[in-house]
Chains A and B, each alone.
Chain A
Amino acid sequence: MAEPILSIKGLNKSFGPVHVLHDVDLNVYPGEVTALVGDNGAGKSTLVKCIAGINSIDSGTISWEGKAVTINDPRVAASLGIEFVYQDLALADNLDITQNMFLGREIHRFGFLADGEMERKAREVLASLSVRTVSSVRQVVANLSGGQRQTVAIAKAVLWNSRVVFLDEPTAALGVAQTRQVLDLVRRLADQGLGVVLISHNMNDVMEVADRVAALYLGRVAAEVFTKDSSTTQIVELITAGRSGDLGLTPQTAAQNI
């Protein structure tokens, strides 16, 4: 068994009386796409926010390359090499692709912005991801399509030698062709050795691109399965009922309320 780069064990999180996450375990392996699926309110976003350092955790451990770490600030996550691409992408429309990719982490020369250097690096990253959907790294983001924006947001996350990338619903608002491009990009990220966590509602995307699936059900991990061993039906059952045949939670646990 390969070592997971990011490993979460027994994570619990409550908001007041509401126990949102129950003993959640999640492993992210380098070079793999791990899909994090679950219905609305299952705790996906809370889990991601705990890992991002936006929410604190009540108990449990987060290990990075086998060592326990405390992520209590988004900057800690960034310094470890964990990047997050949120659904609303967080790109500034009035800046161009290069400027967006380097936003907040600009390169300087003699105290002034080194635009040429940033442009070269942006182009390198996009080329290494085989991105051919944007014609110029000097294009203003306002003029990009949804898929191109998603591409830029993902490339921005990769630019910083990140090791694990969380993608929140990257294909939610995209058309067929653009979804294709983004899924290809997700696969390429994993092929480059990154650990990718794909948060998605779309079973087609999950089955196509993910290596393993972690299904959350009412704050518990119902099961962590390999995509190739499971069917869409099984995963949908895990999401909606917490169990599917022998897989998943025991009937008693699944029936418990949070």
Chain B
Amino acid sequence: MTDNSSPEQSGHSLTKSAPGNGDDASLGRAGSFSLDIELRSIGQGLRDYWNKLRGGDPGALPSVLGLIVLGLIFSQVSGRFLSKSNVGNLPGQGAYIAVIALGLVFVLLLGEIDLSAGTAGGVCAAFAAQAIDSDGLRGGIPGQSALFWILLVTMIVALVLGVWLKTWIGVAIDLLGIVLVLTGADSHVVGAMIFAIGLGSAIGIITGFLVAKVGIPSFIVTLALFLAWQGVILFALNSNPISVNNYSLWNKLGHENMSVAWSWVFGAVVGGGYLLYTLYKSWRAQRRDLAADDYGLVLLRGGIVLIATLVVTYFANQNRNPNPNFEIKGIPWAASIPVALMIVCTIALTKTTWGRHLFATGGNTEAARRAGIDVVHMRVSAFVACSSFAAVGGIFLATSQGSASLDLGGSNILLFSVAAAVIGGTSLFGGRGKARDAILGALVIVIIPNGILLKPSLPAQYQQVITGGVLLVAAAVDALSRRRSARR
């Protein structure tokens, strides 16, 4: 700076000469950076994955290893474990855990928890069942004369809160639920189910309001609601369980399958779609000189996914009924719907501003706030998503139990769902997680009781001990990996 006669001159001359100011060395540096096209080969991809593992991000590895280990153990315990009929039953037994866990991923990403997701889902499904059973809720709930009005007022209050907090999607679903219940469309199965999701949104808005706006820790809010909803279920059902498997569509969700042809279409669209999308992304990025995986890596990864999907579809399309009188084949609806929801969640989390902001809020709330993100809105909308998915989970739960029972969604269901998300690789500390985790984790959670029940000599007590052990291992992996990445 000494060569400049006065500061203002230096300012001007530097401003003007800025583009040409870089001597050869600095231009070379800039050039070397901008020309740094990051094309990842298979080898580099594997090395990156290995570094990620060492750096403390185990991803899906624990759940995949867990599945393999548990599968090996149970196949030794009982020859029936790997039979087609047993494997075909798994989705029906685990769909509700997968769907509730999907919703929980949103909340866990923020470092919050929703202990009420299970019973909230139960409440939604119970009201839906009651709506069908009593031919629309507006006619009044048997034995609970005031309950319909309380329900309606609650949903309207949630609507107003939702408008105030600008959670538009939650408001829209809630409003749809109100319209359905007021028009009496909830007496049909489809109407009742959509109403249940609307009620889930309303519950989510209220939960989110209490957590994000009032400022009560989510653990306490949802613990209180977990208890309260159990009582509300009793009111909703007027203390009489309602069998839902008489409603063919509802029953279908848990017990029936897609046709063989549609199963192939589904498998091909999911597996092939992934392969084609990643190929397109790589082609596009390479064309524009952006960081990308090379075709070898994309084909390897997409090929594995496609082949796995097609193999699963092939086996699902074999007759798996040991009874020769009629055939059971096709992908169960209880598998295809959660997978479809998982794809929707993945897109929402990775391809939308909302998802990006959710990760940012979970990773560093202060950074998110300074970047202009409405942190309160993010919290509320995560709870809305969670409770809406919980409503879908409650519907699956009712069909897998055969009825809207009096403890629908109570006991361990929520904890199993949290366990599923965590085993799948979603961090309890926020900021890390994928929709995929919920599905993988739910598979781990569901094969434990399934495997144990196949061996009658093993008492059922083992089931909870083993599930608890698996969860502890998963949480330990989560905590250790966090420590590891913090140490770097």
Chain A residues with CB under 8 Å of chain B are 1-2, 29-32, 75, 86, 88-95, 99-100, 103-106, 108, 111-113, 116, 119-120, 123-124, 126-128, 130-132, 135-138, 142-143, 190-193, 211-212, 226-228
Kindly state the separation between the CA atoms of A95 and B360 in the bound complex, as whole angstroms: 7
Whether B290 contacts A193 by the Cβ 8 Å rule is no
Query: Could you list 10 A-B pairs, sorted by A, with CB under 8 Å?
Result: A31-B14, A32-B7, A90-B366, A92-B431, A111-B352, A130-B29, A130-B33, A142-B488, A211-B1, A228-B7
Give me 17 other A-B pairs in contact (C-beta within 8 A), A90-B364, A211-B7 excluded. A31-B12, A31-B14, A75-B372, A93-B364, A94-B364, A99-B356, A104-B368, A106-B353, A106-B356, A108-B353, A120-B289, A127-B33, A128-B30, A132-B29, A136-B36, A138-B38, A226-B7
Interface residues of B (CB under 8 A from A): 1-2, 7-8, 10-12, 14-15, 18, 21-22, 26, 29-34, 36, 38, 55, 284-285, 288-291, 350-353, 356-357, 359-360, 362-364, 366-368, 370-373, 431-432, 485, 488
**B291 x A103 contact (CB < 8 A):** no
B10 lies within 8 A of A31 (CB): yes
**B18–A192 contact, CB under 8 A?**
yes
A227 to B10 alpha-carbon distance, docked (Å): 13
Which of chain B's residues have a CB closer than 8 A to the CB of A103? 356-357, 360, 367-368, 371, 373
Least CB distance, B158 to chain A, in whole angstroms:
26
Known: A93-B431, A132-B33, A191-B21. A137 touches B291 (CB 8 A): yes
CA distance A29 to B15 in the complex (A): 11
Evaluate contact between B359 and A95: CB separation under 8 angstroms. yes
Q: How far is the CB of A242 from chain B (nearest CB, A)?
A: 23
Smallest beta-carbon distance A38→chain B, Å? 20
User: What's the nearest-Cβ distance from chain A to residue B297, in Å?
Assistant: 14
Decide if B10 touches A92 in the complex (CB within 8 Å): no
Q: Would A29 and B30 count as touching, CB distance under 8 A?
A: no
Instruction: Chain B residues near A124: list those with CB within 8 A.
Output: 34
In this complex, what residue of B is CB-closest to A5? B11
How many residue pairs bridge A and B at CB < 8 Å?
139
A190 partner, pick from B14, B36, B291, beta carbons under 8 A:
B14
B30: chain A residues within 8 A (beta carbon): 127-128, 130, 132
Is A93 a contact of B26 with CB atoms below 8 Å? no
* Among all A-B residue pairs, the 9 with the closest Cβ atoms: A104-B371, A31-B11, A94-B363, A193-B15, A92-B363, A2-B8, A90-B367, A94-B431, A127-B34
- CA A138 to CA B7, docked complex, whole Å: 39
Bound complex: CA A123 to CA B14 (Å): 23
* Chain A residue with Cβ nearest B430: A94
By a CB distance below 8 angstroms, the chain B residues around A100 are: 367
CA distance A113 to B281 in the complex (A): 13
Chain A contacts of B14 at CB under 8 A? 31, 190-191, 193
Q: Do residues A29 and B11 form an inter-chain contact, with CB atoms below 8 A?
A: yes
Flag if B364 contacts A143 (CB, 8 Å). no
